[in-house]
C-alpha cells in the first residue's frame, strides 16, 4: 500500500473512504445525521468544505485545510482530548514566543477522531463490534482548477453512478442541493459557484457525463 501523503496547511484535498469489506456505514437517517454532526465538530474547525456525499458504504469530501490556525494547549493535563476540541477557541495565528502555548492541529488526527467517534456510535447503535472503516482514510491533493471541478462533479454524481437516483436533486445526502437553494450554509458555496462561472453553468456542468472508469482508476493509484 502506498504511503499516505501528509495533509498540509492551506491545501485542497479529496478525502474518501468506505466500510470495511464494503459494509454499510449508514443504515438509516439518524446515522447520516450523526456522521455529519461529528464532521462539524471535528473537521469544520480545521478545514473548509466545498463538496461532499455520503453513500451507504462510502463517502467523499472535497476540502481545503485552514492555514495558520492554532488552539490553546491544555498544559495542566498535557493533552487535548478529541471531546474537548469544541471547547477551545480556534484562531488564525502564527505560533511565536507570544503564543507558544498554542498548538497547531494535526489534520489527519482530526479525521481519525471523526471516524473513531462514529465507529463507537455505530457499533453501539447496531450492536456490532470491531473495525468499521476499511483502512486509513484516502486523500488526494487537488492540483489545479480542472482537477477541482472534475472531483466535485464526480462527488455529486456518485449517487447516480451507483444507481441510487436519476437526478442530482433526488439524493438527500449530498452537498449538491445546497448549491441550488439559497439557504444559509457553511459550505464554500460562493467560491465554488465562482469557479464554475455562476449557478447556471454549475448546474449544466454537473449534468455532464463523467468517465467514472477513469476517475475510479485515478483514485486507486
**4-14 burial code (b ≥16 CB/10 A, e <16):** eeebeeebbbb
Domain 12-67+106-214 of CATH type 3.40.50.620: no
- pLDDT value for 47: 94
**Contact present, 101 and 75 (Cβ < 8 Å):** yes
How far apart (Å, rounded) are the C-alpha atoms in residues 155 and 147?
Answer: 12
pLDDT (mean) for 193-211: 92
pTM of the entire predicted model: 0.85
**Contact present, 154 and 176 (Cβ < 8 Å):** no
- pLDDT value for 82: 52
37-54 pLDDT, tens digit each: 999 999 998 999 999 999
How far apart (Å, rounded) are the C-alpha atoms in residues 76 and 98?
Answer: 19
List Cα–Cα distances, 177 to 10, 103, 158, 173, in angstroms.
26, 36, 14, 9
Amino acid at each position: 500500500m502506498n504511503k499516505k501523503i501528509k495533509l498540509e496547511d492551506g491545501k485542497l484535498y479529496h478525502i474518501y473512504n468506505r466500510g470495511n469489506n464494503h459494509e454499510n456505514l449508514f443504515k438509516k437517517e439518524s446515522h447520516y445525521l450523526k456522521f455529519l454532526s461529528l464532521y462539524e465538530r471535528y473537521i469544520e474547525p480545521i478545514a473548509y468544505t466545498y463538496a461532499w456525499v455520503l453513500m451507504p458504504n462510502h463517502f467523499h469530501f472535497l476540502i481545503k485545510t485552514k492555514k495558520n490556525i492554532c488552539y490553546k494547549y491544555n498544559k495542566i493535563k498535557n493533552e487535548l482530548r478529541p471531546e474537548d476540541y469544541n471547547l477551545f477557541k480556534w484562531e488564525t495565528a502564527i505560533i511565536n514566543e507570544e503564543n507558544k502555548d498554542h498548538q497547531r492541529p494535526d489534520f489527519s488526527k482530526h479525521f481519525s477522531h471523526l471516524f473513531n467517534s462514529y465507529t463507537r456510535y455505530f457499533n453501539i447503535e447496531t450492536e456490532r463490534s470491531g473495525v468499521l472503516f476499511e483502512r486509513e482514510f484516502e486523500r488526494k491533493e487537488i492540483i489545479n482548477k480542472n482537477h477541482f471541478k472534475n472531483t466535485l462533479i464526480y462527488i455529486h454524481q456518485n449517487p447516480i453512478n451507483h444507481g441510487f437516483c436519476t437526478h442530482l436533486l433526488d439524493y438527500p445526502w449530498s452537498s449538491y442541493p445546497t448549491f441550488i437553494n439559497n439557504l444559509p450554509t457553511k459550505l464554500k458555496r460562493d467560491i465554488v459557484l465562482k469557479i464554475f462561472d455562476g449557478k447556471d453553468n454549475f448546474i449544466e456542468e454537473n449534468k455532464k457525463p463523467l468517465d467514472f472508469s477513469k476517475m475510479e482508476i485515478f483514485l486507486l493509484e
